[in-house]
Structure 1
């Protein structure tokens, strides 16, 4: 490694708290719970399921959730998907939460879209994973003017979002098959600040929820100072407000449709994220659907977690291979700042402090390089890595086994 590379690495190691803060912000802001495989909202963090926050009428109650059943959290009654569809008949705005790497959550999102499509009500789908500058490529996708491989490249999927395309593929194909408009929801804060609106930072319930995500001994996510926490909370609220603003714009542009928003759980649960921030521009009702991973027959959630809780099987492993390491870009590669226990990375010998330079014979200079290459790996594959450790190159072989 060059002298400048060593100097930059030294700054990163000395600024460990800042790195942890940034990584935690990315994980929470994009809806990833604090677990290696982004397992569903369920047994991984039961405290988040049962926080006494949100709607005053429901936050004092809990409801039971079963696999493949939908619970109306206001009444406590259990519904079939078809019965849920009737409840959604007049909904103007629907928010559906997701763990980004939980395929079951995405299946629920797709099923809701299918149910709504069957009613022949016009739909618009709002997507957290696309920036407003991506709107032209979304339009081209729906119009059938771009192939699937070209869409992945032109939208910079593995650069701007990074999660495996397979998690979202069926939803995007469904939208194109039915010519359902897609709307990009993420973007710079300036889009909103130019209107003179500031994010609402007043909710103590939202702070309690946000803090619950960080109450862990995980070396990446734990140990935030109060000023760091407040900075991250403000950033989360700004992200919520940007998406809320773009949702409101979509509602105004499509007055006779149902707008369905797909976003990370941190933006949806307890109606403290997008639903709270959108009140600045939209006064109508918001309906929220939260997939819940059911670990056992005693799984219970706070009734205020959303309007409907849809039970899904607990995910023990991600659908697509994951490295199991957190890294940041440095000169010459990706600097590993955390390795998940019992992950392919740990079992293959990757250590905190290593700099990943090649993966599957592809030069790794930034995270998108790794994301794109990792997406070609299948469970069971062996992959060769080249790392720098203590300034010297070393070869590793990782086996991607669950």
Structure 2
């Protein structure tokens, strides 16, 4: 008996010694590696802000323009969380979206009222391919809280026809379709047009002018949609989600809003990376995110893909003169 007790005691002591010699697991005290969902926020003056402090800082804005790189997890997460924070401090809100077009407003209203299902909204509303992962959270937040959603954009086929035919194409539209695009397009030379032209590399000035008419058709239509909504619903705050180029530095949609109603307080919340930043003196609140992976390494593959996109215009049906 003493022998077994002695062996057992020895084993216990050896076990204790072994445990004490194991390396300490320090991973719990180390910071998590960054992911594409992570973001930090800074003010135009460079002050770091929490999401709640950002919402408080822009609480008096009539329109909050929130940019995105389409499909960026961190940008989309921030949009949904900022929408929730703004709603918590002011329930008198509406959501405006680049991703739905004016002709689909009745269908969107039906969905919000529970008269059609999500599958119908996605199919008949021409929802973007990433709707479920990236825009569903925004629409559902609005739906659950009885908020309006503004289908702010112009229909893509019309915009593509403007890009091919020029701004005069709008004169060919039937009256029921003409109302789906802003009454007036901003075609005068401005900082936005200069920035757009600088991003073009094909060297065809007439083509660039037509393409800019298409670009500003988006911005002017989204701007007009929001200005018209606020005229009918004074006191509401709008959060509008759109591509980063439309939002950054207030050159696109914001300038078109101001041209229609200079009294409106418009703020920009723009995603940035070290590689894709904005001017130091820009009035935007910055959302610092991890850059997206490079789309193409081979220039030939990139050019082939661009040709495929431009080739769609061969099947485009526009109204003739």
TM-score by length of 1: 0.55
Q: Distance in 2 between matches of 1:303 and 1:154?
A: 42
Out of 59, 64, 78, the residue aligned to residue 108 of structure 1 is 78
Which structure has more helix as a fraction of its residues? 2
Alignment-derived partner of residue 162 in structure 2? none
The size of the alignment, in residue pairs, is 249
Structure 1 residue 302 corresponds to structure 2 residue 279: yes
TM-score by length of 2: 0.68
TM-superposed deviation, 1:72: 1.2
TM-superposed deviation, 1:135: 0.8
Structure 1 residue 122 corresponds to structure 2 residue 110: no
Alignment-derived partner of residue 292 in structure 1? 272
Structure 1 residue 223 corresponds to structure 2 residue 223: no
TM-superposed deviation, 1:95: 0.6
What pairs up with 1:196-345 in 2 under 5 angstroms? 197-203=184-190, 205-214=191-200, 222-283=201-262, 284-294=264-274, 301-316=278-293, 338-339=304-305
1:275-294 residue CA offsets vs partner (Å, 9 max, x unmatched): 11123321222101001235
TM-superposed deviation, 1:106: 1.2
- Matched-pair contact (CA < 8 Å) for 2:65–2:266: yes
- Gap runs ≥5 in structure 1: 1-66, 215-221, 319-323, 325-335, 341-350, 356-365, 368-402
Q: Distance in 1 between matches of 2:259 and 2:137?
A: 33
TM-superposed deviation, 1:267: 1.2
Computing the radius of gyration from Cα coordinates, the structure with the larger value is: 2
1:2-39 residue CA offsets vs partner (Å, 9 max, x unmatched): xxxxxxxxxxxxxxxxxxxxxxxxxxxxxxxxxxxxxx
Out of 152, 156, 160, the residue aligned to residue 122 of structure 2 is 152
Q: 1:315–1:262: structure 2 CA closer, same or farther, 3 Å change rule?
A: same
2:150 partner SS: strand
Which structure has more strand as a fraction of its residues? 1
1:145 partner SS: coil
Alignment-derived partner of residue 84 in structure 1? 54
1:289-329 residue CA offsets vs partner (Å, 9 max, x unmatched): 0012356xxx85423444200112233389xxxxx9xxxxx
Q: 1:91–1:164: structure 2 CA closer, same or farther, 3 Å change rule?
A: closer
